[in-house]
């Protein structure tokens, strides 16, 4: 179980954050589901590729520089569409 958590740490954290935000955006659930799928899919694919090459600390640096800013931009774009 700890190996699974180490391999997919960032995907699990994104799923947790999106689950918490789902309470706020309950009115427009279709757009929120599309946003959630886009964020989870991009994070999962990036994490699978990084698992083959890097340890957890190095993977964290790579994710912090690439996928996290992209996910923030996607999140802000969908917030603008929802409201």
Question: Helix 56-65 vs helix 9-21: angle between axes, to the nearest 10 degrees?
Answer: 50
Task: Compare 81 and 45 and report the one with higher pLDDT.
Answer: 45
Long-range contacts (CB closer than 8 Å, 24 or more residues apart) made by 46-51: 47/7, 47/8, 47/9, 47/10, 47/11, 51/7
> Could you report the per-residue pLDDT of 68-78, keeping only the tens digit for each?
788 888 888 87
> Could you report the per-residue pLDDT of 12-70, keeping only the tens digit for each?
888 888 888 778 777 777 777 888 888 888 888 888 888 888 887 888 888 888 887 88
Domain count, the chain: 1
pLDDT at site 8: 83
In this prediction the pTM is: 0.73
Residue 36 near residue 74 (C-beta atoms within 8 A): no
Measured distance CA(47)–CA(26) in Å, rounded: 28
- Segments forming the whole domain that contains residue 70: 2-82
Q: What phi and psi values does residue 20 have, to the nearest 5 degrees?
A: -70, -40
Distances (CA, A) of 46 to 5, 31, 41, 63, 80: 15, 23, 9, 8, 25
């Amino acid at each position: 179980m700890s190996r699974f958590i180490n391999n997919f740490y960032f995907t699990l954290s994104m799923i947790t954050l999106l689950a918490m935000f789902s309470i706020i955006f309950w009115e427009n659930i279709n757009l929120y589901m599309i946003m959630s799928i886009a964020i989870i899919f991009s994070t999962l694919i990036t994490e699978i590729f990084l698992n083959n090459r890097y340890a957890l600390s190095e993977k964290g640096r790579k994710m912090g520089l690439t996928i996290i800013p992209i996910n923030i931009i996607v999140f802000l774009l969908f917030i603008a569409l929802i409201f």
